[in-house]
Amino acid sequence: MEPKLYRPPPEVQGMTTLDKEAFTRTITVPALRVPASVLNKVVKSLKKSAIHRPGVPRVVQDKDETSGFRLVLLDPYKVSSTSCFSESEAGDLRAFGVPEELQYYELRLTYHNLKTEEVLEAVLPPGQDVASGFSRVGHIAHMNLRDHQLPYKNLIGQVIMDKNPGITCVVNKTNTIDSTYRNFKMEVLAGEENMVAKVKENGMTYEFDFSRVYWNPRLSTEHHRVVQLVQRGDTVFDVFAGVGPFAVPAARAGADVLANDLNPESYRWLRHNCKLNKVEKKIRTFNLDGRAFIQGPVKQALPALLTAKASVHVVMNLPSLALDFLDAFRGLLHQEPSGDESLPMVYCYGFSKDDDPDTDVVKRASCSLGFPLENQCSAHFVRNVAPNKDMMCVRFTVPREVLFGSDREHTETLAEPAPKRQKREEATESTQ
């Protein structure tokens, strides 16, 4: 049996402009000649042995259209003779009066009968990685192509669009994410240049211009995990809110939310999504730098919340830089504490390339706070972003000594060396 029976003609290798007709070829596959009267029963019985190819029918017309017979096409990798049928299948064929004699059918395979990987493996040079994975954002497929795939980028984009119903635009990221506004430059590989996407996540609907804001569909589980910790009546401060994947469901859960983002486009779509999900009365929105948000609206609202012993959550999802913003909590409040406040719970995200990412992010959070968090926090693995690069979430209650202390306390002993901080900031990479 030819191991690459479905492989396209070798002439397509190196193709950079998609020519669908060039993928057409004819192969021979086994078949059974079945009376039309028992056709449905036979097809059901042979579902494991029948052919399974995109767009290829399992039943075709017999050569003699008036014979009352049909041909059931079989998988050539599973059936090479009648002895390949299982005992159950063979028994059913005898019971249905179907002769256990293989026929052979000339099957015309086209581009539309091939899987994405099969098309790209045939086109790209042997031994090269095949790009078929992508993130879906509404009607947009977002890819991260490698350098050796770029000569084939438009072909790859067209194939992705052809093989995935509902995808009408394929884009490729062309640089790392800007750490200020969390968006990235992209080029359209195939389809329409409509970047306004509509997505649903955890029961919420979001709309945004994907080319101008940050959205990562791989964070759906993390959004849900954190929001589940929020109770009705709680207050949530979302420091880097984006278009609202934490803020909107938290408000829907009954929390009072103050949501902020520096990117004017994210701020605009955040407000839009609050209205879209009918939670605009539960969310106050801000367009500030993260540190200014903490030292402004958060600082103003905290005293009353602490006096009321309300549960307060602070979400800081800017993994390339959020850990560095924790110093904004140093000496944030100056009034003498009563000692029984319910202090804010922080969920701060960061990237780590360390062999021990839990210890790494906790140490960096401690340095930024100016207070040792070891044994006073938890580090949660969110996802692997790239080889040897993990996204982590450090969860902790803001220490009383930090919130009510001097902003200079502990900084001398715990501050991160300047060269290391500078090197890390210069190495900030994409959050995809």
**DSSP secondary structure letters along 241-299:** -TTSTTHHHHHHTT-EEEEE-S-HHHHHHHHHHHHHTT-TTTEEEE---HHHHIIIIIH
- CATH code: domain 25-109 is 3.30.70
C-alpha separations of 231 from 250, 261, 382 in Å: 8, 23, 22
pTM metric for this prediction: 0.80
How confident is the model at residue 340, as a pLDDT? 67
Using one digit for the tens of pLDDT, what is the confidence trace for 169-208?
999 987 655 555 555 678 999 999 999 999 999 999 999 9
Average pLDDT, the chain: 89
Residue 94: HSE in the Cβ half-sphere, 13 Å Cα cutoff: 8
> Residue 130's pLDDT band (boundaries 50, 70, 90)?
confident
The gap from C-alpha 384 to its chain's centroid, in whole angstroms, comes to 11
Under CATH, which number does the domain 116-198 receive?
A: 3.30.300.110
Least confident window among 22-31, 337-346, 373-382: 337-346
What confidence tens digit (pLDDT) does each residue in 42-78 have? 999 999 999 999 999 999 998 877 788 999 999 999 9
CATH 3.40.50.150 occupies which residues in the chain? Answer: 218-426
CATH no. for 218-426: 3.40.50.150
Query: Within the chain, which residue ranges are assigned CATH 3.30.70?
Result: 25-109
Give start-end residues of each CATH 3.30.300.110 domain in the chain. 116-198
| Average pLDDT rounded to a whole number, residues 391-410 | 84
Cα–Cα distance measured from residue 261 to residue 42, given in angstroms and rounded to the nearest whole number: 61
Residue 413: per-residue pLDDT = 41
pLDDT in tens, 342-379: 899 999 999 999 999 999 999 999 999 999 999 999 99
pLDDT digits (tens, 9 = 90+) for 203-221: 999 999 999 998 999 999 9
Q: What pLDDT, on the 0 to 100 scale, is given for residue 248?
A: 98
Beta strands 377-386; 389-397: pairing state: antiparallel
**Quick one: CA torsion of 280, 282, 284, 289, rounded to 10 degrees?**
-100
